[in-house]
Structure formats: structure tokens, C-alpha cells
Amino acid sequence: MKSLFAIFFMLLSSAIFAKESAEEIFAQLTPSLYQIKLIDKASGEKSSIGSAFQISADGIIATNYHVISSYARHPEKYRIEYLDHLGNTAQVSLVSVDVINDLALVKRQVSKDMPFFSLSDKKPSKGEQLFALGNPHDLGMIVVPGTYNGLKKESFNERIHFTGSINSGMSGGPVVNKLEQVVGINVATSGNQIGFLVPHEKLVNLFDSYLASPPADIKQQMAAQLLANQEKLMSALINSTWQSKELAGNAMFPLIDVPFIRCWGDSNADKTDALILAAVASCSLDENTYISSHFFTGSVEIEFRYMQAKDLSDNKFYHLYQQQISRAGAGNRAGKDDVSEYQCHHDLVMPESTANTSQEINNKSVFCTRAYKDFPQLFDVLYLGASIDKDQQALVSHFTLAGVSQENAMTFTGKFIEAVSWK
């Protein structure tokens, strides 16, 4: 009874301790916390908001790229303002961005050295308590306690998995440990206490490279980052092992063996009235790069569809099959101001690697590409291969890549076509 009482008391005291430290942390850090507002110049009203925090005595403030993305895309239309804890407002200038890791640095005018957040020099340990700061839904600055749960599994660009409520408006706010050091930046949520943070090393890198040489032009900086990121992603995809896998016992497709590409399967075997039996394997990269609210890039989608006619004439099977392949679309969202229209080429293609073997496949192949208007060496590409050599069976192989270079796109395409065959 005595020991039970002691445990209860300990629990109570630790809860009190956590509450106090959250309060303390908030009180000490609040002068370096800001709300960032994007003001539409024409209407004079804010068009988007986010959180931010100061990371140097001379007024460098860190936030998310997506908070200020409209300004980065159209600097003539907006201005960026901060709102501090005393209610002061002033304009800031955008000095550097990391579009891949969703980070941005803005600079405010300071008259004297100011307090700022120090960036942690080590990673938190799993289970460590962290505190997320920010201004959700413009309701005022809050502090949210939560738990560090390591890096998001199988991610290409690392994100911290944070168990705690992160809401919109908190984007760009810092996440600190008990030593009040920044270990991450709020960036996204998938609801129900699942939040994602940008690891603090990314911010350290961005800040260091800014100090070494500030970028001359934000658009060129973004273009270089996007180009470097696709190079990293595509070389990982092209150079990893492509496992040959069986689809529905009749076709072979390549499974790219990298942890960040995840695959799902489906079939209509349960639908007895379907005219065509279909089995689908689709793989994709779970993440993409936000450029603006209507323009995403960096996505990868791969899909294989095997079809088998059930009591159909060959002509009808091919007629329905054609309807299946006539509406392939882009894998990423992009608008008129961001990309050109698609240019397409189609031909009959027989990969040489399988020619004159039992695996031989003959495809009608379609390749389409569109160019980015602001980032000259980047393209979205789309490939669609439809087998045309079996009377009652079909194999559709399809992929889309967003924001890749011509060379990478074509190397991937060539390798992809050669890797698909009949069994």
C-alpha cells in the first residue's frame, strides 16, 4: 500500500514537472517566436500564415518554404511580414530556401543583438520528450508536448516522426528538447497525433551555406536544388537492383529494390461478372516536393496491369483494353504557369533482351514529356507500354516521373522497357 502510494506520487510529480517545464520553455523562448504572414499587395490582407523562429542575433528567422512559397514564386505580388509576441509587425526579406526540405530563411532588421534559438548538435533519442511551438489556425502561440519517434520509415528525404498534435499554422515553428535546443521544424501532419518534422541538421546546413555564400537568386537556387535532388533520386533508382517479379503468373515486371518505393497490389478476382480479369501492381514514392499549392514535383509512380479476357472475342477484348490505356495522366499537379503542354511520341517497340525467346513481348509504347517553365532542365515524363502480341492477354506497363532531367528520364525509360516481358 505504501509503495503503491509512492508510485502514484511519483507519477503526479512527474506530470507537474512536465507541465512546469513546458510553461518555462514557452516563457523563455517566446521573444524569438514569430508568426509569418504573406500579405497580398493588392488587397493588403494576409493570404497565408505560418510560424517561425529566430536563429541568429542579427535577425535571421527560419520557417517552412511552403509558408512563403507564394512569395518565392511571385515576389511582385506579395510581401512577407512578421508578427512578434508584443504584436509588432514589420517587413522581412527572403534570403535563402531549401525547397527539398521545405525550409526558408528570412531576415528582419534589428537595432541590437536579440535572443535566438540555439540549434541542437545531436539527434534526440527515441522516446525523448519534445515541445512543438507554433501558432495553429491563427489562435495564438502555443506549446505542444510530444514524443520523438525516430525518422519516418523508408523516407527518401528524412522526416522526424513526432507523436503530438501539429496543426496548420504551426508550420515553420520550432520543436525543442528540454534544453531548449531546436531539434526539428514542424512541417506536416497526417492527423491523430502523427506529426512530421524536418530534422534540425537540414536547417544547420542551410544556415551554414547561407553564411558562407548567400544565394544571388532564389529561383536559381531552387532550380539547382531540384536538379541535385532528382539526380540523387534517379541515380538511386537506376543503380539499385531491379528484381524481376511475376504478375498473375504470366508476366514479369521489375521491382525496384529501394526502401522508399512502396508497392501495393489489387485484382478484381472477386468480381465474377467482370469481362476482363485484371491484376495490378503499383509502386510509388510516398513523398513529393512542394513548389506551390498548385505545383508539386519529385513524384514517382510505376504501375503494371495484367489483363485476361473472359469469354470475349479478341476484337472486343482489344476494344475494352484500349479504353483502359487511353487516359493516362500526369503523376503530379502542375498548371499553365508552371509547365508546357505534353509532347508525345508513339511507336511499336519490341525489347531486344527478350526477342526470339518465350518471354518475347511486343508493345505499343507511348512516351510524353512536358518542360518546366521556371526550371529549364527539368521535365515531367510519362511512359505507357501496352502489349499487342497476345489475343486474350494484355500487359500494361506505365510510369510517371516528375521533375527529372532528360538524361535520367531516358536512361530510366530504356531500362524500364527492357525489364518488362511475358513469363
Partner 1 sequence: MEVTNKIPEPEAFELSAEQVPSTRFTDHNEIIIEEVTRNHKLLHRHRLKQNNVSIGRDYNNDIILTDPHICPQHLSLNYVQGAWQLADNNSVNGTTLESENTKQSLSEQRTVNDGDVIVLGKSQLRILFSDHKVAETVAFSPFESLIDIVRNPIAVFISIALFMLIAANISYLNQQTAINISQIFVSAFSMSLLFALWPAGVALVSHLTKHDPRILAQLGISFSFFILMWLSDLLEKVISFNSASNSMLGIVITLLPIALAFSLFWLNSYIGFHMPAKRRLFIAFAITSLLFGGSYLLQYSKKPEFNPHPSYNSTIMAPPFLLAPSSNVDEFVEQSNKLFDKASKAAQAD
Q: Which three cell numbers stand for residue 145?
A: 508536448
Does the footprint of partner 1 cover residue 27 (CB under 8 A)? no
Alpha-carbon distance of 92 to 39, in angstroms, equals: 11
Question: For the chain, how many residues are written?
Answer: 423
Looking at beta carbons only, is 79 or 364 nearer to partner 1? 364
Other CB atoms within 10 Å distance of the CB of residue 46: 16
314 binds partner 1 (CB under 8 A): yes
Which listed residue (66, 305, 390, 398) binds partner 1 by CB under 8 A? Answer: 390
- Residue 322 — φ and ψ, nearest 5°? -60, -40
Binds partner 1 (CB under 8 A): choice among 351, 395, 421, 422: 351
Give alpha helix (H) positions in 153-295.
Answer: 200-212, 218-239
Quick one: which of 368, 395, 401, 402 contacts partner 1 (CB under 8 A)? 368
Residue 343 · residue 370 · CB < 8 Å: yes
Cell numbers representing residue 335 in the block: 498548371
Part in contact with partner 1 (CB under 8 A); list of ranges 1-9, 34-42, 189-197, 350-358: 350-358
Q: Are 36 and 67 in contact (CB under 8 A)?
A: yes
Q: What is the CA radius of gyration of the chain?
A: 26
Q: Among 27-35, 118-126, 182-190, 345-353, which window interacts with partner 1 (CB under 8 A)?
A: 345-353
**Residues facing 371 on adjacent strands:** 379
Q: Quick one: which of 233, 307, 339, 395 contacts partner 1 (CB under 8 A)?
A: 339
Amino acid (1-letter code) at residue 85:
H
Q: Which residues pair with 363 in a beta bridge?
A: 349, 387
Residue 74 interacts with partner 1 (CB under 8 A)? no
Q: According to the binding rule CB under 8 A, does residue 327 interact with partner 1?
A: yes
- Residue 367 binds to partner 1 (criterion: CB under 8 A): yes
Phi, psi of 228 (to 5 degrees): -65, -40
CB nearer partner 1, residue 270 or residue 347: 347
CA distance 189 to 162: 9
Quote the least distance from Cβ 345 to partner 1, whole Å. Answer: 5
Nearer residue to partner 1 within complex by CB, 169 or 351: 351
CB of 305: closest distance to partner 1 in angstroms?
A: 14
CB of residue 29 vs partner 1: minimum separation in angstroms?
44
Q: How far apart are the first and last CA of the chain?
A: 70
DSSP 127-165: T-EEEEEE-GGGS--EEEEEEEEEEPTT-SS--EEEES-
Report in angstroms how near the CB of residue 144 gets to partner 1 at its nearest.
38
Q: Closest distance between partner 1 and the C-beta of residue 138, in Å?
A: 33
Choices 27-35, 112-120, 147-155, 410-418 (CB under 8 A): range interacting with partner 1:
410-418
Q: Under the criterion CB under 8 A, does residue 242 sit at the interface with partner 1? A: no
Residue 413 CB, nearest approach to partner 1 (Å): 6
What's the grid cell of residue 297?
514535383
* Residue 238 interacting with partner 1 (CB under 8 A): no
Q: Three-class SS of residue 33?
A: strand
Q: Could you give the dihedral angle defined by the CA atoms of residues 27, 28, 31 and 32, in that order, rounded to the nearest 10 degrees? A: -130
Least Cβ distance, residue 265 to partner 1 (angstroms): 24
Dihedral angle of Cα 40, 46, 49, 52, to the nearest 10 degrees: 80
Name the one residue in this structure whose C-alpha cell is 497565408: 48
Name residues contacting partner 1, limited to 266-295 (CB under 8 A): 273, 275
Residue in 150, 259, 265, 414 binding partner 1, rule: CB under 8 A: 414
| Under rule CB under 8 A, residue 384 binds partner 1 | yes
- The residues that touch partner 1, with contacts defined as CB under 8 A, are 273, 275, 314-322, 325-330, 334-336, 339-352, 362-373, 376, 379, 382, 384, 386, 388-391, 406, 410, 413-414, 417-418
